[in-house]
Amino acid sequence: MPEIPAWVVVGLGFGDEGKGLATDYLCREFPGALVVRFNGGPQAGHTVVAADGRRHVFSSFGAGTLRGAPTYWSRYCPVAPGPLLREYAALRELGVQPRLLLDGRCPVITHYDVLWNRVLETTRGASRHGSCGQGFGATVERQETTPLRLYAQDLAFPEVYEHKLHQIRAHYRTRIQQETSFDFDHLDHDAEDLRFAGYARRLQVLGQEGAVEIVREAEVLAPTAQWPALVFEGAQGVLLDQEFGLFPHVTRSYTTSRNALELLARHRPATAARLLYVSRAYHTRHGAGPLPHAETPVPLINHEQETNQYNDHQEHFRRAPLSVSLLNYALQCDAHYSVDADKYLLLTCLDQLPDGQIPAYVDGRPRPLLLAGLRALLTENLAGTIFSRSPCADDLPPLPTFAPGAAP
């Protein structure tokens, strides 16, 4: 059986590079592709703008959903039942019928994980780590360091998830009382548990309707599975990676191509993946943590629809000139896993630059760049470069090396 195209989308920054645009673009090139979320969780916010004006920020579904692409939510990604259901309703209002293949081993984010996440981040004060406040890191920590593991498959069994939820409540009650001054008992946890049970029942209904299915990894990614292409949609960025990021301002996730390539090696070892790296034409950071050269202003135009806005957990959305050194660092980090893959760069948000030049730092010094000058400064050998001057994937050119729909 001939191997199918497989692409891996990886952000080279601190997140918010344009991975939603990149995923939508690849699903345009390969109709019917399966989108695979392989890291992060519902704290991702991947914006897609359709040619007909529809706009959606994807968190619990793949960014190819507006094109009818199903999503496989792998076991590397915690799932949040409430936000998933709300996003499902929002997509139905857009006239879309999403299809989510949810790995039964996905960790489940509970309201107790979210509470602990927010209380702890607030307690840190000026030493905040930059959390989104969605319970992602707390869930990963609970799953990895305690026996209190709640999985997506458990939500079909009330006797199971009710017992586990009770234990998780006791766990966080103890931690919050011992490590913070927050009054855990002033909240109505029984009501929240009932709400959680309602989410579980609703997911069961969607399962019966074929919209949200509990699946096994080996079945979805088997060589016999009839997908015309695989699009692995990364979340966050390499500079937040738990191996290579700048601790403590990192995520509990491998944000390189590591997980995606492991999935391919396990189930489709003959498939050669291509990498689509993504970066804005300037750096951004939403949340606490270092952002080199942020003291240098980056004037922008055409950015009124910026998805990232001030919130209580991440506060202000910051931007800085593009650091060529950081781009090369991110590329070098990912090369530990993708050394033999063909690699491409998608540079986004060029329509936001008032003079057409990239505000950049080269060798620690400010140096505006033209598009042709950037590629020569990158240490990784790229097979192609794509430049985006629009938030809509339909405005991008065809992939540079072969016709849309053809096998690599």
Q: Is 20 a known ligand-binding residue?
A: yes
CA 222 to chain CA centroid, Å, is 24
Question: Read out DSSP for 26-56?
Answer: HHHHSTTPEEEE-S--TT--EEEE-TTS-EE
Q: Is 47 a known ligand-binding residue?
A: yes
Q: Is 349 a known ligand-binding residue?
A: yes
Q: Is 251 a known ligand-binding residue?
A: yes
**If you count them, how many residues does the chain have?**
408
Residue 64 identity (one-letter amino acid):
G
Q: Is 21 a known ligand-binding residue?
A: yes
Establish whether 46 is a catalytic residue: yes
36, 74 Cβ separation under 8 angstroms? yes
Establish whether 249 is a catalytic residue: no
Ramachandran assignment for 16, one of left (phi > 0), alpha (psi -120 to 50 degrees), beta (any other): left
Cα gap 312→383, rounded to integer Å: 41
Q: Is 195 a known ligand-binding residue?
A: no
Catalytic residue from among 46, 56, 283, 293: 46
Q: Is 350 a known ligand-binding residue?
A: yes
Question: What 3 state SS string does 196-244 have?
Answer: HHHHHHHHHHHHHCCCEEEECHHHHCCCCCCCCCEEEECCCCHHHCCCC
Q: Is 95 a known ligand-binding residue?
A: no
Q: What is the four-CA torsion angle of 245, 246, 250, 252, rounded to 10 degrees?
A: 60
Catalytic residue from among 16, 113, 154, 193: 16
Q: Which residues form the catalytic set?
A: 16, 46
**Which residues contribute to the annotated binding site?**
15-21, 45-47, 236, 251, 318, 349-351
**Which residues contribute to the annotated binding site for IMP?**
16-19, 236, 251
**Which residues contribute to the annotated binding site for Mg(2+)?**
16, 45
